[in-house]
Amino acid sequence: MQITSFHPPRRTLMGPGPSDVSDRVLEAMSRPTLGHLDPAFIGMMDEVKSLLQYTFQTQNELTFAVSAPGSAGMECCFANLIEPGDRVIVCQNGVFGGRMRENVERCGGTAVMVEDAWGSAVDPDKLEDALKAHPDAVLVAFVHAETSTGAQSDAKTLVQLAHQYDCLTIVDTVTSLAGTPLYVDEWGIDAIYSGSQKCLSAPPGLSPVSFNQRAADKISARTTKVQSWFLDLNLVMGYWGGEGKRAYHHTAPVNSLYGLHEALVMVQEEGLENAWARHRDNHLELRHGLEAMGIEFVVDPQHRLPQLNAIAIPEGVDDAAIRSRLLHEFDLEIGAGLGALAGKVWRIGLMGHASNLKNVEFCVSSLRAVL
């Protein structure tokens, strides 16, 4: 069989990610490829770093994009900050807290689990109980915006609690960055990671991360090697660190970084506060349309993510059949439930470029048609 060029269908992506990518970002990625040590490309890397500092609301020098998806950003944080024997408190209220546990154990640490029901926020009282019970803990890890459930936890309070008990923090903001308020420096977050494909609306494949000085000091004081050569910050920052000159570490995904740069420029043009308000306003419109159809949300209003909406599948409705009809009849993608919520919920994303009133109305009318 003669294989020819691949031309994907044009979908409206309203699942849990990736989100729709604007034509501006796609055009940026089509620009001429440069060498990854080219002075012009290095100048662009400096701009990516500055734009990420703005988007994270931080002055952290250790701020850059890992050349791999958000899962690698997660592993970068855990691999660099955990040494064998470290005790780490992991808060789990969905799928991605479980992945944190996996990382702790693979780094040779011991995970102490603080568990909350899926669809609820992390309970600060449970975290404090665990901190009191394990005074030798060195880290607290939690998910700010749990993609599997659409629940948002109080990151500021959880970080403050961790610091009261002399623990550093690792925070997953894969779904929250640029979609909901996040202040890395003001909240004192020590290590944080995100992804390019959610509210930033760049293609998948890059993971913004940031580490403050406390985290950097712990990394410098390690007595064992970071278990991952590729993600070892002592090596990576020779490429991303400093201004201007770079030491070769790996061949960066040049054109993908063009796309991330353009997406971050768009965030800066809109303004973070305006982006947060847009996500909130479109969520309220979606809620109005869905509730008018009798569809219920699974997360309490005070903990709902505006950019990731978990809704209960109506009684007697075939989950997969409805999603298949939406995809094939309307070119509309929404997400299935994961883990404990599989077959029970749909996840509707209103992230980044896809968070607009036209998409809200299209999603509601399409769901009404197939239901």
Same domain, 129 and 204: yes
Residue at 2 is within a domain:
no
- Tokens (6 digits) for 90: 């992991």
Last residue of a domain, one of 238, 267, 296: 267
Residue at 221 is within a domain:
yes
Q: Residue 214: how many CB atoms within 10 A of its CB?
A: 14
Residue at 5 is within a domain:
no
Residue at 129 is within a domain:
yes
- C-alpha 212/C-alpha 232 separation (Å) is 16
Same domain, 279 and 209: no
Residue at 250 is within a domain:
yes
Give the side-chain half-sphere CA count within 13 A for 251: 4
- C-alpha 98/C-alpha 117 separation (Å) is 13
Same domain, 87 and 172: yes
pLDDT at 244: 52
Strand partners, 253: none
The residue type found at 127 is L
Same domain, 28 and 173: yes
Give the pairing of strands 308-312 and 345-349.
antiparallel
Phi then psi dihedrals of residue 131, to 5 deg: -65, -40
- C-alpha 142/C-alpha 267 separation (Å) is 25
Residue at 3 is within a domain:
no
- C-alpha 99/C-alpha 109 separation (Å) is 14
| 326 contacts: CB under 8 Å, gap ≥ 6 | 332, 333, 334, 366, 367, 370
Give the pairing of strands 335-336 and 345-349.
antiparallel
Number of domains in the chain: 2
Same domain, 36 and 175: yes
For residue 309, the 8-state DSSP code is: E
DSSP states along 162-188? HHHTT-EEEEE-TTTTTTS---HHHHT
- C-alpha 346/C-alpha 73 separation (Å) is 26
Same domain, 44 and 151: yes
pLDDT at 351: 98
Residue 331 three-state SS: coil
Q: Could you tell me the pTM of the whole model?
A: 0.97
pLDDT at 281: 98
Same domain, 59 and 161: yes
pLDDT at 237: 75
Same domain, 330 and 238: no
Residue span of the structural domain in which 260 resides: 23-267
Residue at 7 is within a domain:
no
Which CATH number fits the domain that encloses residue 27?
3.40.640.10
Q: Long-range contacts for 104-108 (Cβ within 8 Å, ≥24 apart)?
A: 104/78, 104/141, 106/227, 107/78, 107/79, 107/82, 107/83, 107/227, 108/82, 108/83, 108/84, 108/227
Last residue of a domain, one of 250, 267, 284: 267
- Which residue is associated with the tokens 């060195």? 138
pLDDT along the chain (371 residues), means of 10: 96 97 98 94 95 98 96 98 98 97 98 97 98 98 97 98 98 98 98 98 98 96 95 84 71 96 98 98 98 96 97 96 98 96 97 98 98 94
- C-alpha 118/C-alpha 63 separation (Å) is 31
Same domain, 73 and 113: yes
Residue at 313 is within a domain:
yes
Same domain, 178 and 104: yes
Same domain, 189 and 53: yes
Same domain, 236 and 283: no
Which CATH number fits the domain that encloses residue 293?
3.90.1150.10
Last residue of a domain, one of 267, 297, 312: 267
- Tokens (6 digits) for 22: 């604007």
pLDDT at 235: 87
- C-alpha 57/C-alpha 37 separation (Å) is 28
